[in-house]
Structure 1
């Protein structure tokens, strides 16, 4: 048996900070992401917080088998379709910032729950409280909200049953929930629609054990209806726009991202069919010296998005094949890199607070 000087002897360069990080420009970093077998040919669906929108657009642009189960009506222009939340994710569910939202969406899609307080009102218009940003002008009636939500959930069911890889970007630990049944919302009531009353809504800052329990439960439920499904977790590098805690927003952001990153790592270690992609590390890591943020130190610059995607799909791995066309509908997203923008309800918090 060969005797080593110490347990680190013979480890590759990627295991040492000096060799892998401090002496290299960020463009020279490699081996950050572990390859996922069959990724290039898999049916891929995406969901999560705002940053996840970039992943879906990139996969579609590069001709991968990206799932869009709720495409825009052909009559809509690309700009209008994007404004209404079409083509942003694999279904039109808007941003899913927390693990609690994800579990509840799955349960509702498969008839295991129905939110008590699922419709918010603003003036004479009505909004789907679980995705209030998809119709900026609201609906004419509660019945219209319910009808479209039933249609939406049917598409969500089909997506979960058909996907091979589910890419989910964890974004927040903070959320507002209904005191009546625990329904978690993507935004606080009163920001887009509805009104805040302390007796009806409460603030919850999910802890590590809460998120871990949520994701273990989600994985088990997904495997029941789709045994071959795999999950790829990422963590959003976008800081909190505002915090409802008593902490400084910088401290609150560090807590949130640290917990999410820890859970993602533990899920990857625990289950062979769960993977992690380091978009968070690419943007926030020391090698980039925060060069990938816009001047507001929150929005991720285009160069940062490009660097993340370089690690997700190196150029030599991108399949050189045409995108699958489906008549006129395919043209709706042909220029999505130009018409697309980051839909982010959370970004409205400061504005709603009068900042």
Structure 2
């Protein structure tokens, strides 16, 4: 499909719209400034919001970093109500680490299950890892297993949080990975790899799927339909691709090659997703980090993004989209969809 069609006069006018339309030329001072340190970008917003708008954050661990910045600015974030006690999650992780959603299917699942109920009985949904110890394969893999009552309580908390969608006019989605584990018994995509003990005992039950562009786009469209059915009547989605790579690939490829494929596929799908829906914008978090000085963009593990980079990304988001409460509605109706 053709993503957009522009008359010649419009295309030529865009050429002169500003220096942001030109690739940063290091021979020019303005070009060097754009990609020196942390890259700066120009974004054309399709909507606006204010601090009075609750924001639903859905996605990978990068969503948790976004929440830190927004919470400090006074935003209402339902995701912060979900917590896993110390001792039941890895040291150094955020209390709501259980919400990390790495594949687009996992994001879709949580919305659907919150409003349409669980897809199967708990004994099939959860994975047994010992005597009265169960693992929820639809949350992060490193949360401590527990009795059925504990893992079910965690799941109930996630569903209750997701049912806050009707009051959230803004939904932020951070796309993560395209390597996704599939449970052939339940016919459900999982959030992460099942525990090694389960894989050894039931190796034929699970398989790794590497999603393609069409898989991602179709899932995003289903997410849009779910939010339209159950969310705020005037919702807007701000979709981005997480700049955080995976720690390792299960494909046997070079991790750099596999990660580039995954991010590229999701980036392409996000662009079309935004073009198809007037209430969806794409924000270039991935591009900002990927073209920035790595020493300032990534921590020493070369995986997690520095607080400085997160602050720069979110400052751009808020400078672009956030207005005072009284001005939000008027600005939202006056801008052209992006």
Normalised TM-score (structure 2): 0.78
Match of 2:285 among 279, 292, 298: 279
Q: 1:253 aligns with which of 254, 259, 263?
A: 259
TM-superposed CA distance for 1:33, in Å, is 6.2
CA deviation after TM superposition for structure 1 residue 56, in Å: 0.8
| Residue matched to 2:296 | 291
**Per-residue deviation at 1:83?**
6.1
In terms of fraction of residues, the more helix-rich structure is 2
1:37 is matched with which residue: 39, 48, 58? Answer: 48
1:279-333 Cα offsets, whole Å, 9 max, x none, are 1111111x4355312233222222222222221224996879xxxxxxxxxxxxx
Of 172, 185, 193, the match for 1:180: 185
Corresponding residue number in structure 2 for 1:65: 76
More displaced stretch, 181-190 vs 258-267? 181-190
Q: Which residue of 1 aligns with 2:127?
A: 120
Aligned pair partner of 1:106 in 102, 111, 118: 111
With over 3 angstroms needed to count, the CA separation of the structure-2 counterparts of 1:182 and 1:82, relative to structure 1, is: same
2:171 to 146, 166, 169: 166
Q: Which runs of 5+ in 2 are unaligned?
A: 1-7, 326-338
- Distance (whole Å) between structure 1 residues aligned to residue 302 and residue 65 of structure 2: 18
Q: Tell me how large the CA RMSD over aligned residues is.
A: 3.4
In structure 2, distance between residues paired with 1:84 and 1:26: 27
Extract unaligned runs of 5+ from structure 1: 321-355
Give the corresponding residue for 1:218.
Answer: 223
Partner of 1:17: 23
Determine the C-alpha separation between the residues in 1 that align with 2:227 and 2:220. 10
TM-score (norm 1): 0.75
Separation in 2 of the partners of 1:42 and 1:21? 36
Displacement of 1:94: 2.0
For 1:208, the equivalent position in structure 2 comes to: 213
2:60·2:102 contact (CA, 8 Å) conserved in 1? Answer: yes
- Pair 1:268–1:172, CA change in 2 (3 A): same
Partners of 1:149 and 1:167 in 2: CA distance: 21
Answer whether contact 1:177 1:183 (CA < 8 A) is retained: yes
Q: What are the superposed Cα offsets for residues 232-288 of structure 1, whole Å, 9 maximum, x if unpaired? A: 111111112111113211110000000011111111111111111211111111x43
Equivalent position SS for 1:41: coil
